[in-house]
A and B are shown apart, each in its own frame.
Chain A
Amino acid sequence: MIVADRKSLDEIQEMIKDYKKILLVGCKGCVTVCNVGGMKEVQVLSSILKIARKKEGRELQVEERTIERQCDFEYVEQLRADCDRFDAILSMACGVGPQFLAEAFPSQKIYPALDTKFFGGAVQHGIWEERCAGCGTCVIHFYDSLCPIARCAKSLQHGPCGGSANGKCEISEDVDCIWDIIVRKKMEQERLEDLRTYRAFKDWRSARDGGPRKSIREELVQ
């Protein structure tokens, strides 16, 4: 899933400081699952913003909505009837959400309430970790389905570098060295020779480096 964090209150307040009435929109997709943009977080942020505004001696009206997904226009469309009643819309979806809203409602002012971080999963409740960099050409089959592109600080295809110590990455004690894990797994499975193979230069065109990406599946296009 896409993992996000909520922006700081100061940053959000600054964005909406000129508005009196905003629509706060949550998303039932990834951001609900990572406990940052679902109905509960919408209620909480709404309340926090109102309290913060009250402290300034001004009023803020917030209406709360949570739609199925902000990355599908059909769902975004559900907001159309109400959208003009507000000075601005604050989106609690990943970076996709505010953009879909902006495209659907070109005359409305749309703001993001979240910082979108990475593709990952929860390793325990409250801790999410990155697993995929979305590079467009998956190579993890070379590495026992462990991705050095996303999980090595240097994206090494031939690791581990000399900074690997006690299974940790040189950049932090809190970061596992994925190469250490790859090597150990290969050793356990007695397939270390896989790591004697030279890997070709990676073609980064499929990643963001190749410009904004699209996925077109002809058979689905009507």
Chain B
Amino acid sequence: MNETFEPQIVAYCCNYCAYAAADLAGSMRLSYPSNVKVIQVPCTGRVDILYLLRAIEDGADGIYVAG
């Protein structure tokens, strides 16, 4: 891993809490790295372990499940 390593991170966020929190971070103009991409799910219960594995297969460097 070198200095310029830019990890790709997928975040599966529950619509009711974590997704709302990510919205709130926006309204509050907080700043975080742009490598995080949020995918909205109806509930973290919908996050199949398979998604996490497939994401890694596809090239994700990190996965964040928040709810």
- The answer to whether any beta carbons of A and B sit under 8 Å apart in the complex is yes
> Could you list which residues of chain A lie within 8 angstroms of chain B, going by C-beta atoms?
40, 43-44, 47-48, 50-51, 54
Size class of the B contact interface (CB-based, 8 Å): under 10
| Cβ contacts under 8 Å, A44 to chain B | 49-50, 53
Q: Is B43 an interface residue (CB 8 A)?
A: no
| Cβ contacts under 8 Å, A48 to chain B | 53
A44 to B49, CA, bound (A): 7
B29-67, CB under 8 A of A: which get 1 and which 0? 000000000000000000011100110110000000000
CB distance from B56 to the nearest CB of A (A): 5
> Could you list which residues of chain B lie within 8 angstroms of chain A, going by C-beta atoms?
48-50, 53-54, 56-57
The 9 lowest CB-CB distance pairs between A and B, nearest first, are: A47-B53, A43-B50, A51-B56, A44-B50, A47-B57, A51-B57, A50-B57, A44-B49, A47-B54
A50 to B57, CA, bound (A): 7
| Contact present for A54 and B57 (CB under 8 Å) | yes
Q: Which of A47, A50, A54 contacts B50 (CB 8 A)?
A: A47
A54 to B48, CA, bound (A): 21
Q: A43-B50, A44-B50, A51-B56 are in contact. List 13 more A-B contacts (CB 8 A).
A: A40-B48, A40-B50, A44-B53, A47-B50, A47-B53, A47-B54, A47-B56, A47-B57, A48-B53, A50-B57, A51-B53, A51-B57, A54-B57
